[in-house]
A = this chain, B = another copy of it.
Amino acid sequence: MNQTAGTTRIQRRNTAAITEAALEVFSANGFRGATVDQIAKAAGLSKPNLLYYFPSKEAIHQHLLATLMDTWLDPLREMDPEGDPLEEILAYIRRKLEASRDFPRESRLFANEIVQGAPHILPTLEGELKDLVDEKAKVLSRWMEEGRIQRVHPYHLIFSIWSLTQHYADFDVQVRAVLGSGDTDPFPEAEDYVITLFTRMLALKP
């Protein structure tokens, strides 16, 4: 019934269970691949009961994407224009890598959405996301002009951070298949590697 966080105890519990279950199912199967029954079962509810809290499958998906967008952008928002350039960039990378490790389902949900042409969130990409990136790209450009990091294309710098960090969440299966040994955690190695990569690219060599 109520799209936002419920006001009663039961509403809160059930909307939470639904969003959790929907995240699980959508991220593993994509929007079309997920069924309302599947989500309802995972949430411990009957299908009509689930549809009592959200008007449609589409609405659950939209709600998830909208909620997650902030989680997704926050690490970049935290990059401080007044901090030390290289430190700020490396800290941003570490935050993104943490996000990939701790919220892989969220990452895969976005990946699914974008790979298929972002049918549900294109406006957000062209609005909120673009605005934030424009702002931070200016900061990066300034740091480069001030000679505090090496000069590279600021937008592609951000793209490369996204692609490298999210790869370990989105393509997790492939990474583990290639590394063998499904038990070993690839993230510590990944962090070393990625930090080295960006340090060598951006640090000044006098």
A residues apposed to B, CB below 8 Å: 28-33, 108, 111-112, 114-118, 122, 125-126, 129-130, 133, 150, 152-153, 155-160, 162-164, 166-168, 170-171, 173-175, 177-180, 189-190, 192-194, 196-197, 200-201, 205
Contact = CB atoms under 8 A, between A and B. Distances in A.
Given A33-B33, A117-B28, A156-B189, A125 B197 contact: no
B205 A201 contact: no
B112 A115 contact: yes
Interface of A is mostly: helix
A99 to B, nearest CB: 15
12 contacts: A28-B116, A30-B116, A31-B33, A32-B33, A112-B116, A115-B115, A118-B174, A156-B194, A159-B171, A160-B164, A160-B167, A164-B164
